[in-house]
Amino acid sequence: MNNPKRVAILGSTGSIGTQTLEVVRQHREEFQVEVLTAQNNFQLLIEQAIEFEPNAVVIANDEHYAAVRDELQPKGIKVFAGAKSIAQVVEMDTIDVVLTALVGYSGLIPTIHAIKAGKNIALANKETLVVAGEIITALAKEYGVNINPVDSEHSAIFQCLVGEFHNPIEKIILTASGGPFRGKDRDYLSTVTKAQALKHPNWDMGAKVTIDSASMMNKGLEVIEAKWLFGLQREQIDVVVHPQSIVHSLVQFEDGSLKAQLGLPDMRIPIQFALSFPDRLKSDFERFDFANFASLDFEAPDMDTFRNLRLAFDSLERGGNAPCILNAANEIVVEAFLKDQIGFLEMSDVIEEALTKVEYLKEPSLEDHIETDSRTRELAKELLLKIS
């Protein structure tokens, strides 16, 4: 019996975080929770800490610090507050792997700290690679750490590559469910509400990624994430719409052979594989049954209607800080859409304008990315004022 892997879960109260704890609950001998962090949901953080007895917790919003400390400190759990503390706790000696399920850009700095401390990463925060993929992958190489994808499509590719790491990839095909608005036209999309956008047909996820799925930006971000995880060029990445979300993605090798990974849409499978790799652990998750799926459908994505996907491909091709601009503008417009401040299609308008107006840098440093991120946010907010 090996010692359990000691896991830090950044963003433990969100959708990925809670599902990660379900995985741990089924495999108490394989995994031990060392650190839990949450943004705002301090009640759930306290409950989780009482159940899983981590070494330390961080509540990012320091307004809730006293409440968390009063509950957990008497139990011998260290309690910290503030976003900066997240970047510090990941360096603890007792952590083997850091699962990053923070939302958006906020995952970047803690991930850098974790890599520099030599921690393997289970990456659920795709925005980190979108914003600074070149820097992150170079650091991972320098410090000899693995980045195992949690995103289901990238996990599928990762699983297809087991035993194939010496064989070049000809291309990958990322599947997309198409979200709740698949097949709709721009007229229809001009009037959709956030309630409609938040109803994803297959996956139960956090609000940000659900809106990104409806707008196809999620697939756009995943295209950029895939480039960095697997070292690919634009022409090696295809997207196909597959409404049932059973085929999670495919790899095509140089002999023309395609490998796919399939299963029910259940995030616990990729979460578990990212933590247990190279082993597979027994689970009681529901199994796929062909009897329930008479057909699996595939179609080309509509990049004229869902312009975000094209903007993402363009940003990937341009490189430099373009994906950072794309991501920052997207975070602002998604927030605005969730507050009913702009319409669904206007999200792409603002992102496109930000991409033309924020200064392009071909070889940005980390500081340049941080600067690009904040400039883009300011500009996107100005653009929003003009719209509303």
* Residue number, 85 or 315, with CB nearest to Mg ion: 315
- Cis, peptide link before residue 265, omega less than 30° from 0: no
Q: Which residues contact 360 (CB under 8 A, 6 or more apart)?
A: 318, 320, 321, 322
- Residue of minimal CB distance from Mg ion? 151
212 three-class SS = helix
Which parts of this chain interact with Mg ion (CB under 5 A)? 151-153
Q: How far is the CB of 78 from Mg ion (least distance, A)?
A: 33
Q: How far is the CB of 323 from Mg ion (least distance, A)?
A: 17
Nearer to Mg ion, 85 or 272 (CB): 272
Q: Closest approach of Cβ 365 to Mg ion, in Å?
A: 29
Rounded Cα gap, residues 48 and 34, in angstroms: 12
Contact in structure between 315 and 355 (CB atoms under 8 Å):
yes
Q: How far apart are CA 311 and CA 259, in angstroms?
A: 28
CB of 101 to Mg ion, least distance (A): 13
Residue with tokens 């697939």: 219
Please, which residue, 113 or 126, has the CB nearer to Mg ion? Answer: 126
Nearer to Mg ion, 203 or 360 (CB): 203
Q: How far is the CB of 130 from Mg ion (least distance, A)?
A: 13
DSSP 227-296: HHHHT--GGGEEEEE-TT--EEEEEEETTS-EEEEE--S-THHHHHHHHHTT------PPPP-GGG-S--
Min dist. Cβ of residue 127 to Mg ion (A):
12
Q: Work out how close the CB of 249 gets to Mg ion at its nearest, in angstroms, rounded to a whole number.
A: 9
Residue 33 has φ and ψ, to the nearest 5°, of -85, 120
- CB 354 within 8 Å of CB 379: yes
Q: Which residues contact 262 (CB under 8 A, 6 or more apart)?
A: 246, 247, 248, 288
Between 152 and 215, CB nearer to Mg ion: 152
In the complex with Mg ion, the residue whose CB is nearer, 151 or 346, is 151
Q: How far is CA 214 from CA 175, 307, 368, in A?
A: 14, 12, 30
Residue 79 or 176: the one with the smaller Cβ distance to Mg ion is 176
Min dist. Cβ of residue 229 to Mg ion (A): 12
Measuring CA to CA, which residue among 232, 213, 215 is closest to residue 224? 232
Residue 301's contacts (CB-CB under 8 Å, 6 or more residues apart) are 176, 178, 216, 219, 239, 240, 241, 309
Looking at the Cβ atoms of 48 and 152, the one nearer to Mg ion is 152
Provide the minimum distance between the beta carbon of 152 and Mg ion in the complex, in angstroms, as a whole number.
Answer: 5
CA–CA separation, 173 vs 155, rounded Å?
13
Q: Which is nearer to Mg ion, 153 or 266 (CB)?
A: 153
- The length of the chain is 388
